[in-house]
Structure 1
Amino acid sequence: MTAMPMGARPDPTMEEGDAAADLYIEEARVAAYLQRIGAAHPGRPDAAHLRELQFAHVRTVPFENLGVHAGEQIELDARSLVDKIAKGRRGGICYESNGAFAALLATLGYRVSLLSARVFVGDGFCAPFDHLVLRVDTDGSWLVDVGFGRQIEFPLNLDERGEQPGHDGAYRIADAPEGDLDVYCDGELQYRVESRPRALTDFATACWWHTHAPQAHFTQNLVCSLPTDAGRVTLSGQRLIITEGGKRWSTDLAEDAALAAYRDHFGILLDRLPRVRAPRSAQD
């Protein structure tokens, strides 16, 4: 597949399954994004470069929900999502990270589809649009997910039913009813993916719920997390959690030290610590 020229608008006759028109971004935003994640321009949209781009994103863009408690509104459009990551040097939840990464890939010439997924929570699946993942078609078909809590570092082959080893575990894709696919990690079901391509706007209601509803996980907790060569580093408010070689250390930090930890571990510059903010309906 030939890469689309930077900043070009997509052909409105593109078939369903190609990246939607509203995913394309300008060349300057692509350059800023690549600089942010420390990746070179891929030159061609193939599977090898997709793997490199995903790894670079996951190792530099944290999974975080700080904006939920700072009163920030998530704008589900490609430019806003990319600007938060590339210019604001922030991370985000699934709708933000996977939405922005989809925009980058689409503009680089990859064929990208946005897919709805339902996270498995132990006694069943969450509602549709609970999670956003990507299907990328190049040298085969790949599941790409840079916005899940554990941040999958490499694309998963959608046609493979055996184990696919990753840095954080062994993944497996299994067929599910109605053409859906189940994603497992180390034998534990993570989520179920639908096959129908969606638009960013289709996720707006679920995104609002996750960032405003009093019973939503993201409104009750603070998280900022990145995988490392040895394991993972996570900051939840003022609690720093380091995982290395299967061992876990937890330390409560003073305010100044916590601000420094956001800067040093995640590259996030804050003038004050984020605090869990109760949703408005919970305050009534």
Structure 2
Amino acid sequence: MWGGEELDLDAYLARIGYSGEVAADLATLRAVHRAHVESLPFENLDVALGRRVPLDVKSLQAKLVGRRRGGYCYEQNSLLAAALERIGFAVAGRGARNRTRGDALTPITHALLVVTVDGQPWLADAGFGWQGPLEPVPLTDGARVEQDGWVFGVRVERVGVERVGVDRVGAEAEGVHVLRALRPEGWTDLYSFAPHALYPVDFELMNHYSSSHPRSRFIGQVVAHRPNAVVRRALVRDGLTSVGVDGAREERRVGPDELTDVLAGEFGIELDDEEAAGLVRVQRAYSAEV
């Protein structure tokens, strides 16, 4: 389903710095997921450059494994799905609505995975950027996990649940799962998704919208995220934000002349000369608008 037979698993494991044994068990799932998240940065740079974003395994391997590049959710989770499938896991896709933007009912544009181990479903997501989990989260109502001080939880919403400003009756089906993060101010919803399986062809459709539709938040701006156990970083347009596990927050602006150095130093993204020049132009164009 996910093209695992086409993946060079040894090269993938080397890229994410994983050298342990691999088996279709929970220990491997946790270790591979964490290594992937901490090694492959979230970024939209090909979208910002107006390039096509292919999701076939060979293209993903060339970009994310062969080069020191990253990708956004469709790329990250398609690659992770291929690796997990190759190892022997049962992997299914899901589509989620982002809830970090307030109470508006957003379209289903986020792609994630559900991996089943010994009959237990686990939420696996290497593509939600700096706000996402480091390791899989058990997909059970009331689940709460701590990952190096970062706390995530899952709850199930039923029909009839309303949120401020949005009547979700009929908008989302019964049994919608919600991934949440515990922050100093309390629990925050990250995204919601129904127990409806998606497939690579569905990821392709969502990818087309996010990479080309004029209303997509990835068009015309630079985005890069890097979660890890100590500090999570996000670059959106010209704003660089760092958040520590204690909630401490730092923000600064990134000008066009320092963009490529920040992408390399803070996010581990290496660009060729053509990419670097193109992204600097994107950054200058944004700076000229504000």
Q: Secondary structure at the match of 1:201?
A: helix
Report the residue type matching 1:117 in the other structure: A
Q: 1:198 to 1:228 in 2, by over 3 A?
A: closer
* 1:25–1:78 CA contact under 8 A, matched in 2: no
Aligned partner of 2:264 in structure 1 is 263
Aligned partner of 2:150 in structure 1 is 169
Aligned partner of 1:60 in structure 2 is 39
Compare the two structures and name the one with the higher strand fraction: 2
* 2:115–2:124 CA contact under 8 A, matched in 1: yes
2:140 equivalent to 1:159: yes
Cα RMSD over matched residues? Answer: 2.4
Question: Matches of residues 106-185 of structure 1 in structure 2 within 5 Å?
Answer: 106-120=85-99, 121-128=101-108, 130-139=109-118, 140-149=120-129, 150-159=131-140, 161-167=142-148, 169-177=150-158, 178-185=174-181
1: distance between equivalents of 2:205 and 2:96?
14
Q: Secondary structure at the match of 2:269?
A: coil
Aligned partner of 2:221 in structure 1 is 221
1: distance between equivalents of 2:149 and 2:217?
23
Q: Secondary structure at the match of 1:122?
A: coil
Report the residue type matching 1:96 in the other structure: E
* 2:123–2:137 CA contact under 8 A, matched in 1: yes
2: distance between equivalents of 1:276 and 1:213?
17
2: distance between equivalents of 1:182 and 1:233?
23
Q: Secondary structure at the match of 2:218?
A: helix
* 1:34–1:41 CA contact under 8 A, matched in 2: no
Large movers: runs of 4+ above 6 Å: none
Question: Matches of residues 1-150 of structure 1 in structure 2 within 5 Å?
Answer: 20=1, 22-26=2-6, 29-40=8-19, 42-120=21-99, 121-128=101-108, 130-139=109-118, 140-149=120-129, 150=131
TM-score normalised by the chain length of structure 2: 0.79
- C-alpha deviation, 1:160, in angstroms: 5.1
Q: Which moved more, 1:200-209 or 1:48-57?
A: 200-209
Aligned partner of 2:231 in structure 1 is 231
Q: Secondary structure at the match of 1:25?
A: helix
2: distance between equivalents of 1:156 and 1:223?
25
2: distance between equivalents of 1:30 and 1:49?
14
State the percentage of identical aligned residues: 30
* CA deviation profile, 1:135-169 (whole Å, cap 9, x unmatched): 11113220001101323101111135242223463
1: distance between equivalents of 2:178 and 2:268?
34
* 2:41–2:269 CA contact under 8 A, matched in 1: no
TM-score normalised by the chain length of structure 1: 0.81
- C-alpha deviation, 1:103, in angstroms: 0.6
Question: Matches of residues 186-197 of structure 1 in structure 2 within 5 Å?
Answer: 186=182, 187-197=187-197
* CA deviation profile, 1:20-50 (whole Å, cap 9, x unmatched): 2x422336x2111111110125331110111
- C-alpha deviation, 1:83, in angstroms: 2.6
Q: Gapped runs of 5+ residues in structure 2? A: 159-173, 284-290
How many residues are matched?
256
Q: Secondary structure at the match of 2:5?
A: coil
* 2:133–2:152 CA contact under 8 A, matched in 1: no
* 1:54–1:155 CA contact under 8 A, matched in 2: yes
